[in-house]
Copies of this chain bind each other. A is one copy, B any other.
Amino acid sequence: MSRWEPNARGRLETAALALFTEHGFEQTTVAEIAGRAGLTERTFYRHFADKRDVLFPDTNPLGTFLVEALEGVPAPAAPMDTVAAVLDGVGLFFKDRWEFARRRQAVIAANPELHERELVKFAFLTATLSEGLRRRGVGEPAASLAAEAGVAVFKIAFGQWVAESEQRDLRELMRAAVAELKAVTSAGEAPG
């Protein structure tokens, strides 16, 4: 028999999401989260850098997934096609996480502090994507722009996806958004 219950980190994440949903983010203290998980406040801070981080784990699967997806794209593709291919993979990634994503997003949307942290995660994805593109030979500022565009598409499509009452195909939403973005940016290019 081991000295402690296993999966302390997971228990903290579960307890936090539950308490945030029940009482709200601000009304929940770290001590309460730790208490529900059978741990102390100090231990919470050994697993998460701060209170918000419990919803944004460092072991962000999406980040690593992104890198792998990027490497899987055939090399001689235009930047935006590469991004589109990566987004397709991301769509599959979320396939079985719709319910969880919805619950989590509800908590985040209800708390400006959490929304703020979410933006950091998006910025991290943008940086990851941009670096990946540069590694594939895309120059600046093309790489940064394509990365920003890709994450923008993801943001918007993801927002639509979790907002629907029925689960749709995230990939379709993203493909539509990519098409819309192309239309928007090319329109009026050479008027007349």
Residues of B within 8 A of A81 (CB): 187-188, 191
The 10 closest A-B CB pairs, nearest first, are A78-B188, A148-B152, A119-B119, A78-B187, A81-B188, A185-B185, A145-B181, A146-B184, A141-B156, A186-B186
Residues of B within 8 A of A157 (CB): 141
**Main SS of chain A's interface residues?**
helix
Interface size class of A (residues with CB under 8 A): 35 or more
A62 within 8 A of B: no
The answer to whether A183 touches B142, judged by C-beta atoms less than 8 angstroms apart, is: yes
The CA of A81 and the CA of B188, in the complex, are separated in Å by 7
A183 to chain B, nearest CB (A): 7
Partner of A184, one of B142, B153, B156, B189: B142
Partner of A188, one of B77, B122, B181: B77
Name the residue on B nearest A117 (C-beta).
B116
What 0/1 pattern do residues 162 to 192 of A give for CB contact below 8 A with B?
0000000000000001001111111111010
